[in-house]
Amino acid sequence: MKALTKLTAAAALLAMTGSAMAASQNFELVNHNDTTSVVGLYVAHAGSKEPWSANILSHPIGPSETRGIEFTGYPANDCFWDVKVVFGDGGTVVRNDVNLCRESRIVAT
């Protein structure tokens, strides 16, 4: 019986660890525009009145390129974000209520 309890506890711990790992907000940003670079990436908590964050990008994402975005500094369960992408030609795309704990890829066109 003790062995079964230990096995159950170990399985529960493993399941919780997997859930925490799955909650990562990191994602890939795909610039689906074939002529213009993405020059800005901004976030704000979904539905909030807070201003957009500072630009997350350290350098532009070229036309038709993909870049991994490391999204750190927030609790693992802080999942829902509004995301704004700014292109070099001044165009913008905003996606609201993006669940970054489940979406691993954002495509900007």
Nearest CA to 108 out of 90, 89, 94 is that of 94
- Identify whether 70 is part of a domain: yes
Report the C-alpha gap between 20 and 102 in whole angstroms: 12
- Identify whether 7 is part of a domain: no
Predicted pLDDT at 73: 84
- Identify whether 13 is part of a domain: no
- Identify whether 14 is part of a domain: no
Whether pTM > 0.85 for this model: the answer is no
Domain containing 76: what range? 25-108
Report the C-alpha gap between 100 and 35 in whole angstroms: 27
Q: Please report, in tens digits, the pLDDT of each residue of the chain (109 residues total).
A: 444 333 333 333 333 333 344 348 999 999 999 999 999 999 999 999 999 999 999 999 999 999 999 988 888 889 999 999 999 999 999 999 999 999 999 999 9
Report the C-alpha gap between 59 and 107 in whole angstroms: 18
- Identify whether 87 is part of a domain: yes
Number of domains in the chain: 1
- DSSP code of residue 51: P
- Identify whether 16 is part of a domain: no
Q: How many C-beta atoms lie closer than 10 Å to residue 43's C-beta?
A: 20
CATH number at residue 57: 2.60.40.2890
